[in-house]
Amino acid sequence: MGQENEKEKRLNDFHGYQITMQTGSVAAPDWIFLHCLPRKSEEVDDEVFYSPRSLVFPEAENRKWTIMKNSLLTAMNRFIGAVNNMDETVMVPSLLRDVPNASAGDDGDYLRVAEADMYTYYTHLKTIRNEIEWGAVLRGEEAQRPAEQAAEPEELENLLRFHLKGLYGVLTKLTSHANELTDRYKQEIGIAGWGQ
């Protein structure tokens, strides 16, 4: 990263500092090896890296879930922010009644197709925001599907990954819709371009 010409000097300076089983022998008897990756063979040899003492792969797995959680929380916050902005901008929601959805029927507009007008869509976006902020209202206890009851942990992980990816996509799309509705409202009342 800008210091490639110093590589040989650094390799010579740090020669002998590679982590090996021999260097680990001076550590506590229950020592473990962690690494944030990517790994360079000059830092640690294969014997340590792939040994039972190495927790590199579980550490990487934990990081993956943290990143997924953070990206989902970011998507949720962007959606909530877009709907809050929409709510602050739309001072007279009834002006949206009977205003047709400009892009209803576009590919991926799974929510808009069912909406009669922009007002209905506005109220649905606010309802989704409230459910994200406060939790979905339980409409009776639904029995778990048999496939989910009998699923192995690995299958559940794949199912979770699938649903998280889908939820992220839905939130991104709904954020875009909330921003579009806000812009459309500004157009309808004649203040398009204000506050930008």
Tokens standing for 70?
A: 């953070």
The one-character DSSP state at 51 is S
Q: Which residue has the tokens 């819709």?
A: 177
- Residue 158 confidence (pLDDT): 81
The one-character DSSP state at 33 is B
- Residue of 99, 113, 110 lying closest to 181 (CA atoms): 99
What phi and psi values does residue 119 have, to the nearest 5 degrees? -65, -45
Strand blocks (E) in 62-141 = none
Tokens standing for 177?
A: 């819709």
Q: One digit per residue, pLDDT tens: the chain, 196 residues? A: 567 788 888 888 888 888 888 888 888 989 998 888 888 888 898 999 999 999 998 888 888 878 878 888 888 899 999 999 998 988 888 888 887 776 555 555 555 555 568 888 888 888 888 888 887 655 554 555 555 555 677 787 788 778 888 888 888 888 988 898 888 888 888 776 655 5
- Residue 102 confidence (pLDDT): 63
What is the C-alpha separation between 56 and 39, in angstroms, rounded? 10
Tokens standing for 139?
A: 């409409």
Q: Tell me if the bond preceding 29 is cis, omega within 30° of 0.
A: no
Would you say 64 and 159 are in contact if contact means Cβ atoms under 8 Å apart? Answer: no
Each domain of the chain, given as residue ranges in start order, spans 4-49, 63-189
Distances (CA, A) of 176 to 23, 110, 114, 183, 196: 55, 13, 17, 11, 16
Count CB neighbours of 10 within 10 A.
Answer: 11
β-pair partners for 19? 44
The crossing angle, in degrees rounded to 10, of helices 118-134 and 153-189 is 140
